[in-house]
A and B are shown apart, each in its own frame.
Chain A
Amino acid sequence: MRDEPAVSLLFKAVAMLTLVVLLLPVVIVVLAGLNAGDYLTFPPKGLSLRWVVAFLGSATFMSAYIYSFVLALVATLISTVIGTLASLYLSRSRSGAAAALRGFFMLPVVLPGVVLGLALYIFYVATDIGLSRTFAGLLIGHVLVTCPFVIATVTASMVGFDLSLEEAARSLGASPWTAFRKITLRLIAPGISAGAIFAFIVSFGQFETTLFLTVPNHEPLPMAMYISLRYKFEPTAAAAGIFAIALVALSTVVSSRLVSLRRVFRA
Chain B
Amino acid sequence: MSETAGRTLLRRPAFSVAEAFGGFRLWWLVLPAFLFFLAFFLVPLVSLLAISFNKTVPGVMTLTTAFTLDNFERIFTRSIYYMSILRSIGIGIVVAAIALVLGYPLAFLIAKTEHPGRNTLLMILVLSSMQLDMVIRMYGLMVLMGDTGLINSALIWSGLIHEPLPLMYNTFGVVVGLVQVTLPFMVLSLIGIIRAIHPSLEEAARSLGATRGEAFRQIVLPLSMPGILAGSLLVFALSISSYVVPALMGGWKVVVLPIHIYQQIAESGRWQFGAAVAAVLFVTSLIAVFVYHRAAVWTSGGRT
Contacts and interface: CB of A to CB of B under 8 A. Distances in A.
A126 B60 CA distance: 10
A176 B20 contact: yes
Contact of A108 (B10, B41, B150, B286): B41
B30 A90 contact: yes
Interface in A2-24: 4, 6-8, 10-15, 17-19, 21-24
A7 B40 CA distance: 48
Given A15-B108, A225-B136, A126 B62 contact: yes
B71 interface: no
B189 to A, nearest CB: 8
B295 interface: no
Given A156-B1, A226-B135, A144 B40 contact: yes
Interface stretch (B79-87, B121-129, B159-167): B121-129
A126 B61 contact: yes
A77 interface: no
A207 B133 contact: yes
A113 B13 CA distance: 37
A170 B15 CA distance: 12
A267 interface: yes
Contact of B191 (A114, A126, A262): A262
A252 B131 contact: yes
Contacts of B141: 25, 28
Contact of B1 (A25, A159, A238, A266): A266
A85 B32 contact: yes
Contacts of A159: 2, 5, 8-9
A112 interface: yes
A212 to B, nearest CB: 7
Contacts of B248: 226, 229-230
21 contacts: A14-B105, A22-B126, A22-B180, A32-B139, A41-B153, A82-B32, A94-B10, A99-B10, A111-B285, A112-B241, A112-B258, A114-B262, A118-B274, A120-B40, A140-B40, A159-B2, A167-B15, A225-B136, A226-B135, A241-B139, A266-B188
Interface of B: 1-15, 17, 20-21, 24, 26-27, 29-30, 32-34, 36-37, 40-41, 43-45, 47-48, 51, 61-63, 101-106, 108-109, 112, 120, 123-129, 131-144, 148, 150, 153-154, 157, 179-180, 183-184, 187-189, 191-192, 206-207, 212, 237, 240-244, 247-248, 258, 261-262, 265-266, 271, 274-275, 278, 281-282, 285-286, 289, 296, 300
Given A40-B150, A112-B285, A122-B61, A238 B133 contact: no
A202 interface: yes
Contacts of A135: none
A110 to B, nearest CB: 4
A248 B138 contact: no
Contacts of A36: none
A48 interface: no
A11 B109 contact: yes
B128 A123 contact: no
- Please provide the 3 A-B residue pairs with the shortest distance between their CB atoms, ordered closest to farther: A25-B140, A205-B133, A112-B241
A211 interface: yes
A207 B244 contact: yes
Contacts of A105: 33, 37
B247 A221 contact: no
Given A7-B112, A230-B247, A101 B12 contact: no
B120 A256 contact: yes
A159 B1 CA distance: 14
Contact of A89 (B29, B37, B132, B144): B29
Contacts of B20: 170, 176
Of the listed residues B106, B120, B261, B285, the one surrounded by the most CB atoms of chain A closer than 10 A to its CB is: B106
Given A18-B106, A25-B144, A114 B261 contact: yes
A209 B64 CA distance: 26
Given A112-B281, A248-B132, A106 B1 contact: yes
A233 interface: yes
Nearest to B49: A119
B123 A256 contact: yes
Contact of B5 (A22, A108, A121, A156): A156
Contacts of A23: 125, 129
Contacts of A189: none
Given A40-B143, A114-B243, A22 B4 contact: no
A192 interface: no
Contacts of A115: 48, 241, 261, 278, 281-282
Given A113-B241, A202-B131, A261 B61 contact: no
